[in-house]
Structure 1
Amino acid sequence: MNPLPTALAPQELHRHLPAVIRELGTTAFWSALNDWLCRFIPVDSVSVIAYSENQPPVLLFAVLTERERDIFFARFMDGTYIASPSYRGVLENFPAGVYLWPELMPDDFRESDLYKSYYQASQIEDLAYVFCSPIPGLHIQLGLGRHHPNPPFSENDIANLYELETLVLELVNKHWRLNGEQVPPDSRSLSMHVTQRVKEVLNGFGENILTDRERDIARLIISGYSSQAAADKLNISPGTERVHRAKVYAKLNLRSNSELFSLFLSQLTALSE
């Protein structure tokens, strides 16, 4: 990670912006946007993933650390993305804007198998996202990562990201309107088989063991919902949600969200073998 300006300099912002504008509607747009954005926010990794209804996720662009790259394709893009904190933004149709890792991370996530096997193994210290929705039903997540030994994003980094939020959203929306169907030549799409496998494991989780409501709770926990968010989603009280959650743990012989994550991931892995 190269040392970069600690505050937005308007002259620098405007001087390099034409390079992004020139690539609007082309396959080089994401690379140009990344080069421009990273002049003002120090990062170690970048990923741009498009999620759309009934379609496999598409990795539009990525600059990953050497340590992260193999794990990213072997774990995250092979179906476990569904248990990532950022995927909750897709499930809950979050409005476009900047989202920080702590506000997306569900209860007990740092103890989960996914955190330990992917995020910790990739030495990810912090993540920040720009969620974009160029058209209804399409979610594009621009993820910015900081990795050990570099520190998490500073207050100044975060302030810069919020300052650039509107401009980034407008650029992405304009790009998609110009040529949203044209994907970069190095983009990678999950197969329908992977997507179907994820849905199969998630929809069948706890079958013949849990009640329908308990299975609803389990699926929401796996998908990153906090206790309060799950209660809101199901239109039940937080107390009722906690009762159902306790029954899920008891029936599956589990003690925490992290063990529930681990069980889901083990079933997903077993099905893919």
Structure 2
Amino acid sequence: MNIRRCTNDSLAATISAVGTEDFFTRVTEYLQSIVGFIGIFVTELEGKKQPTHIYDNVRSERRLDVVDTYIERNYLLDPFFNSNLKSPGTKVHRLVEISPDRFQSSTYYERYYKGLKLKDEIGLFVQISEKNTLFYSLGRHTHEKRFSKAETKKFREILPVIEALSRRHFDGFRHGGSSQTVGRDVDEAMLNFGEKWLTPRESEIAGLILKGHSSHSIAAQTGTTIGTTKIHRKNLYRKLNISSQAELFHAFFESVFE
């Protein structure tokens, strides 16, 4: 069977599955017929609310680390989640296009991406209503190549099809419950975390550090000099009695979810 025939068959199966429990399984097969990948994790996003789990193909023994931890807390530092907060809508992004300049040096990357042996990720965002967006997270493991610009282009070309199918599916069939209201992103969470010890500026910078921004990037975003940024970093570490980003990461989540 040639590739075009396989893709057409997968699309036909997806159309037939609209409104059924098999829809996301068929969507996965259709997407894989366009560009190869192993992992898929679908959530429903609504502003700052905690994501709602929709579908995944994660092995049972990895669900705690991949799915549950993300839904519970890791979404707060996820570049894709924060990208949707800033600019919701239907779009396709590679991780490299939306992550901060020092993201791969962040504790979040070390703990989550490397811990999961995740080589690369591409996100398909599909707006299914005025407030709600489906986030299709497609992952490649360490033994695979990163997503290329050409592969990203293929996903962008079929995105209108995925959007139309997803909208039609959700018109007549809803998965899961309503989103849990957390009502805060990492910036608000950091402000609450450090309010007893840190100034608002120090709390802001702590949040940017956790997301993976360098001193240069933080200075640009906050309108300060690099030297001032480094002083703020030194002061917040001293006030929190920590000496590394890993300790900041731990203290943040311990505080937010205690």
TM normalised by structure 2 equals 0.80
- Relative to structure 1, the CA distance from residue 214 to residue 158 in structure 2 (aligned partners, 3 Å threshold; closer, same or farther) is same
Match of 2:46 in 1: 52
- 1:19 corresponds, among 13, 18, 35, to 13
Deviation by residue 1:14-51 (Cα, 9 ceiling, x = unmatched): 33212111222333322221121112211110000111
Match of 1:173 in 2: 167
Q: Distance in 2 between matches of 1:188 and 1:63?
A: 19
The one-letter amino acid paired with 1:179 is G
Q: Distance in 1 between matches of 2:178 and 2:110?
A: 25
Match of 1:268 in 2: 253
Asked if 1:109 corresponds to 2:103, the answer is: yes
Residue pair 2:190, 2:252 contacting (<8 A) in 1 also = no
TM normalised by structure 1 equals 0.76
Q: Distance in 2 between matches of 1:241 and 1:44?
A: 43
Match of 1:218 in 2: 206
User: Which stretches in structure 1 are left out of the alignment for 5+ residues?
Assistant: none
The one-letter amino acid paired with 1:144 is L
Match of 2:235 in 1: 251
Asked if 1:202 corresponds to 2:186, the answer is: no
Match of 1:64 in 2: 58
The one-letter amino acid paired with 2:141 is H
Alpha-carbon deviation of 1:160? 2.4
Q: Distance in 1 between matches of 2:161 and 2:123?
A: 14
Deviation by residue 1:67-88 (Cα, 9 ceiling, x = unmatched): 7433124532221211011111
Residue pair 1:50, 1:57 contacting (<8 A) in 2 also = yes
Q: Distance in 1 between matches of 2:247 and 2:71?
A: 17
Deviation by residue 1:157-190 (Cα, 9 ceiling, x = unmatched): 33322332222222222323x236x10xxx5888
The one-letter amino acid paired with 1:268 is F
Alpha-carbon deviation of 1:121? 1.1
The percent of aligned pairs where both chains have the same amino acid is 22
Q: Distance in 2 between matches of 1:224 and 1:141?
A: 21
RMSD: 3.4
Asked if 1:28 corresponds to 2:22, the answer is: yes
User: Which stretches in structure 2 are left out of the alignment for 5+ residues?
Assistant: 239-243
Alpha-carbon deviation of 1:198? 7.4
Aligned residues: 252
> Following superposition of structure 1 onto structure 2, how do residues 8-157 of structure 1 map, counting pairs within 5 Å?
9-53=3-47, 55-65=49-59, 68-157=62-151
